[in-house]
Amino acid sequence: MALERTLSIIKPDATTRNLTGKINAKFEEAGLRIIAQKRIQLTKAQAGKFYEVHAERPFYDELCDFMASAPVVVQVLEGDGAIAKNREVMGATNPADAAPGTIRAEFAQSVGENSVHGSDAADTAAAEISYFFAGLELVG
């Protein structure tokens, strides 16, 4: 399997409940290496730009408010098949559907406050990584 990089965000519901370390442990136990990481406070406009693919969805405004409500931790995860592996470790978007042992099954509070975001494909991973990180910040 190819070595890949994917963008991960630990969302406000998780940072405010001090879950960053527990979530990072899930990534590392799955063989994903955290090769870049920073804690930032997004503005609503910055969150809106990141999620602009969802701009027409009914939950968009609420999603942008939530992502700007408290700090997030943005990260780049690297590993064999990292994009799919991260989605497996996160579990389904709605925690009610997430498999036992996944991050969302253990920590998420609702479909909106679902603790983590992960890129869904190679092209979105590249675009999302470059939204938050400069090349020199990625230390594999």
Residue 84 contacts ligand CMP per CB under 6 A: no
Number of residues counted as binding ligand CMP (CB under 6 A): 8
Residue 63 contacts ligand CMP per CB under 6 A: yes
Which residues are CB-contacts of 13 (< 8 A; sequence separation ≥ 6)? 66, 108, 109, 113, 114, 115
Residue bearing tokens 């406070």: 41
Question: 28 or 62: whose CB is closer to ligand CMP?
Answer: 62
Q: Which two tokens stand for residue 69?
A: 């409500």
State the Cα–Cα distance between residues 140 and 31, nearest whole angstrom: 13
Distance of CA 23 to the CA centre of its chain: 10
Among 50, 117, 119, 128, interactor with ligand CMP by CB under 6 A: 117
Q: How far is the CB of 67 from ligand CMP (least distance, A)?
A: 8
- The phi, psi pair for 17, rounded to 5°, reads -100, 15
Among 84, 105, 111, 127, interactor with ligand CMP by CB under 6 A: 111
Contacting positions for ligand CMP (CB under 6 A): 54, 59, 63, 93, 111-112, 114, 117
Instruction: Tell me which residues are annotated as active site.
Output: 117
